[in-house]
């Protein structure tokens, strides 16, 4: 993104201007696996990576390339590599740093699939990982080992939607020559741009808020400007490699070397390439990012405020609540909100199933950033492979629910949520929370007046 372009503009325009004879106004969907060459010399140079060209869609495709440029622009990065999923983006970004069985320091508040990758698959290959409380700077420092090659954290955590203060963590990492990888999936570049706060690499599950419709999986590694020039510490980038005919990637691609390592080695060798059709769907979602994200941020605040008062709820996890310890930090670093999710802690785990089963509009599903509002129970769904100890470390209780707010009118969402909470509460033998105000005993649904009163209370609290 040029300095002047806001997310709403870059989301629509970056990476594509109509050109050629036909000038399609929208990005063309190029579903070709391979690309033809004019002659033998052109083919040989392209495969030797001496000429920028599309060769085979596993390592580059015109439609995917538009998405890559758009995401790089939105994040203020130098380049981006798109992948088949967010999971593969996280894996490739880290593999390009690891170059063997090294050590990573990572936040204890990570998406469950990332924890699986680190503690199981990477562990099988000898990678060691230290988990730390993301807000505890001394813990990050104490966990560093001589072969630590990366820090990994999420800008907004899942499922509690906590935020991080990135600058001090990045300053510590950089003082020790360690790059910082930030998963910016939940915030999206509409709300937060980690590279501006000290990150070196940004990863995304584009499946989520960026794509916005839950119709296609995709991921991206967005590259910043870390100094990888030490050939002892970063031989995979700064030392000569047989694979690149005795050149180092740094020699050939300068600041683009890390991105080329991700693309030309890991995307090429492991193969998690994004398809052109999925890229086109995700591009369409990115075009509406700013409009959607603004609406969702307002709905999240409204719902978080309104649900806090329900007797079946012990705590709402969202930084927009003035009682939240990160309220001030979020107001400073995340003025456009923190994305689509917030956590709701029920008074008892036993209320989880009746509440989930009583919902009619909100749907039980393990995705986030969809156009539809979705509910997940992390302890039995997204984070079900975590041990009790890992769940505790991640701050996930068995009574915690995650809501991913979609594009519906928040008043309809609130009506559905409060009705299901009431049903679970009454089913558990507690007095009906509306009985005091209802004219005749138990009312199975909140009336429209109830809903508007809750919304008005929420708005008044915010004002």
**Choices 110-118, 142-150, 295-303, 370-378; region in contact with ligand PLP by CB under 6 A:** 110-118
Q: How far is the CB of 377 from ligand PLP (least distance, A)?
A: 15
| Position among 45, 55, 62, 113 found at the interface with ligand PLP (CB under 6 A) | 113
| Position among 85, 248, 299, 418 found at the interface with ligand PLP (CB under 6 A) | 85
| Position among 63, 87, 119, 148 found at the interface with ligand PLP (CB under 6 A) | 87
Question: Is 275 an interacting residue with respect to ligand PLP (CB under 6 A)?
Answer: no
Cα gap 143→314, rounded to integer Å:
34
Question: Is 370 an interacting residue with respect to ligand PLP (CB under 6 A)?
Answer: no
| Position among 90, 303, 362, 417 found at the interface with ligand PLP (CB under 6 A) | 90
Q: How far is the CB of 376 from ligand PLP (least distance, A)?
A: 10
Give Cα separations from 304 to 158, 291, 308, 310 (angstroms).
16, 20, 6, 11
Question: DSSP 3-state assignment of 393?
Answer: helix
Q: Hunting for tokens 């899942």 — which residue is that?
A: 158
Q: Name the token pair of 422.
A: 């009431």
DSSP 274-302: PPHHHHHHHHHHHHTHHHHHHHHHHHHHH
Contact of 144 with 166, CB cutoff 8 Å: no
Cα gap 352→286, rounded to integer Å:
34
Pick the closer one to ligand PLP by CB: 156 or 458.
156
Give Cα separations from 153 to 118, 231, 409 (angstroms).
13, 26, 32
Question: Is 86 an interacting residue with respect to ligand PLP (CB under 6 A)?
Answer: yes
Residue with the shortest CB distance to ligand PLP = 86
Pick the closer one to ligand PLP by CB: 116 or 345.
116
Closest CA to 343 of 405, 392, 393: 405
DSSP 227-276: ----TTT-HHHHS--GGGTT--HHHHHGGGHHHHHIIIIIIHHH--PPPH
**Choices 120-128, 183-191, 193-201, 222-230; region in contact with ligand PLP by CB under 6 A:** 183-191
402-421: contacts with ligand PLP (CB under 6 A): none
**Choices 79-87, 93-101, 127-135, 434-442; region in contact with ligand PLP by CB under 6 A:** 79-87
Pick the closer one to ligand PLP by CB: 8 or 381.
381
Pick the closer one to ligand PLP by CB: 61 or 207.
207
Q: Name the token pair of 312.
A: 């079946």
Which residues lie below 8 Å from residue 134, measured CB to CB, with a gap of 6+? 107, 108, 109, 153, 154, 157, 162, 164, 169
Q: How far is the CB of 318 from ligand PLP (least distance, A)?
A: 17
Pick the closer one to ligand PLP by CB: 61 or 158.
158
187-216: contacts with ligand PLP (CB under 6 A): 205, 207
Question: Is 185 an interacting residue with respect to ligand PLP (CB under 6 A)?
Answer: yes
Question: DSSP 3-state assignment of 104?
Answer: strand
Pick the closer one to ligand PLP by CB: 69 or 185.
185
| Position among 68, 75, 183, 422 found at the interface with ligand PLP (CB under 6 A) | 183
Cα gap 82→88, rounded to integer Å:
9
Pick the closer one to ligand PLP by CB: 77 or 218.
218
Q: Burial level of 397, CB count in 10 A (0-12/13-18/19+)?
A: middle
Pick the closer one to ligand PLP by CB: 207 or 281.
207
Cα gap 287→210, rounded to integer Å:
9
Question: Is 236 an interacting residue with respect to ligand PLP (CB under 6 A)?
Answer: no
User: By the criterion CB under 6 A, which residues form the site for ligand PLP?
Assistant: 85-87, 90, 111, 113-114, 154, 158, 183, 185-186, 205, 207, 217, 219
């Amino acid at each position: 993104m040029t300095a002047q372009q806001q997310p709403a503009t870059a989301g629509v325009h970056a990476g594509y201007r109509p050109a050629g004879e036909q000038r399609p106004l929208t990005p063309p969907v190029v579903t070709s696996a391979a690309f033809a060459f004019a002659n033998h010399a052109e083919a040989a140079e392209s495969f030797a990576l001496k000429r920028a060209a599309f060769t085979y869609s596993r390592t580059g495709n015109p439609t995917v390339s538009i998405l890559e440029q758009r995401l790089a622009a939105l994040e203020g990065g130098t380049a981006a590599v798109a992948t088949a999923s967010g999971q593969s983006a996280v894996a490739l970004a880290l593999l390009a740093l690891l170059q063997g069985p090294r050590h990573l320091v990572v936040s204890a508040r990570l998406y469950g699939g990332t924890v699986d990758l680190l503690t199981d698959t990477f562990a099988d290959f000898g990678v060691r990982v230290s988990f730390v409380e993301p807000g505890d700077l001394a813990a990050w420092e104490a966990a560093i080992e001589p072969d630590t090659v990366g820090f990994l954290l999420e800008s907004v955590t899942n499922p509690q939607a906590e935020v991080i203060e990135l600058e001090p963590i990045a300053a510590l990492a950089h003082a020790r020559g360690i790059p910082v990888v930030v998963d910016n999936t939940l915030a999206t570049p509409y709300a937060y741009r980690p590279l501006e706060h000290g990150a070196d690499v940004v990863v995304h599950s584009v499946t989520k808020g960026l794509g916005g419709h839950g119709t296609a999986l995709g991921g991206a590694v967005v590259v910043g400007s870390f100094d990888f020039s030490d050939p002892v510490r970063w031989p995979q980038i700064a030392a000569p490699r047989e694979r690149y005919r005795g050149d180092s990637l740094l020699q050939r691609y300068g600041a683009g070397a890390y991105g080329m390592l991700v693309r030309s080695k890991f995307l090429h060798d492991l193969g998690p390439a994004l398809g052109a059709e999925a890229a086109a769907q995700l591009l369409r979602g990115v075009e509406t990012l700013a409009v959607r994200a603004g609406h969702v941020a307002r709905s999240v605040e409204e719902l978080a405020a309104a649900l806090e008062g329900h007797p079946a709820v012990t705590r709402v996890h969202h930084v927009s609540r003035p009682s939240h310890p990160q309220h001030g930090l979020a107001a400073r670093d995340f003025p456009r909100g923190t994305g689509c999710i917030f956590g709701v802690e029920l008074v008892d785990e036993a209320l989880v199933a009746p509440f989930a089963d009583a919902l009619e509009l909100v749907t039980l599903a393990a995705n986030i950033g969809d156009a539809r509002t979705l509910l997940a129970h992390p302890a039995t769904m997204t984070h079900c492979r975590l041990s009790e100890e890992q769940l505790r470390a991640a701050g996930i209780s068995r009574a915690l629910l995650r809501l991913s707010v979609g594009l519906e009118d928040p008043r309809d969402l609130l009506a559905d949520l409060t009705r299901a909470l009431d049903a679970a509460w009454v089913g558990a033998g507690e007095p009906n929370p509306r009985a005091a105000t209802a004219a005749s005993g138990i009312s199975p649904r909140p009336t429209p007046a109830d809903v508007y009163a809750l919304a008005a209370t929420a708005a008044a609290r915010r004002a």
